[in-house]
Structure 1
């Protein structure tokens, strides 16, 4: 059987940059990195990298609702990293909500 030649990857056409799209979405509502990744069409890891840049560019106007443990209710208030924690320091549970973001 003959194999068809592989077509090169063509990224989707964008009118705005990824960061402009993220900023517009975050001005409207509170969203997690996972939700943003689905709306913008990039990986969650890339979203987190863009959010780090936006946090410094917006001079602290990027508001983060911290992750919370679903087992014991511990809230990660003092956490600076944007990525979801892996485990609760109190009860060791891995059932943790994703942090959500908005622009205030």
Structure 2
């Protein structure tokens, strides 16, 4: 039986649920930065499939509640543009079946 690639493992893990890149890194066993790179390609693959949709729950400031809705990068922002706080919750990713 063939072993799944890292991207296949990530896609399988986030189908039907939401995970942060740190949670995925622990689950798959690769560095967090590498997971973020793979997520870019996972999002492109899912975009071509009409039966699934890539879901991004944006980061949120823990102090003022600012939500990073317009952010296109999949990485976690370092500071809040409104209050300059560094208490930012990481974005979470998932795949929804249509």
Taking structure 1 as the reference length, the TM-score comes to 0.84
Residue 82 of structure 1 aligns to a residue whose secondary structure is: coil
> What is residue 91 of structure 1 aligned with on the other side?
83
1:30 CA drift (Å): 0.7
Which residues of 2 match residues 57-76 of structure 1 at below 5 A?
57-59=45-47, 61-76=53-68
The structure with the largest strand share of the pair is: 2
TM-score (ref. length: structure 2):
0.89
Output aligned runs, 1:6-45, within 5 Å: 15-45=3-33
Displacement over 2 Å in runs of 4+:
none
Gaps of 5+ in 2: none
Q: Deviations over 1:26-68 (max 9, x none)?
A: 0142100000000000000100000000111111721100000
Aligned pair partner of 2:35 in 33, 36, 47: 47
Secondary structure at 2:26 match in 1? helix
**Which 5+ residue runs of structure 1 have no aligned equivalent?**
1-13
Say which SS state the counterpart of residue 15 (structure 2) adopts. helix
RMSD: 1.3
Whole-Å separation in 2 of the counterparts to 1:46 and 1:28:
22
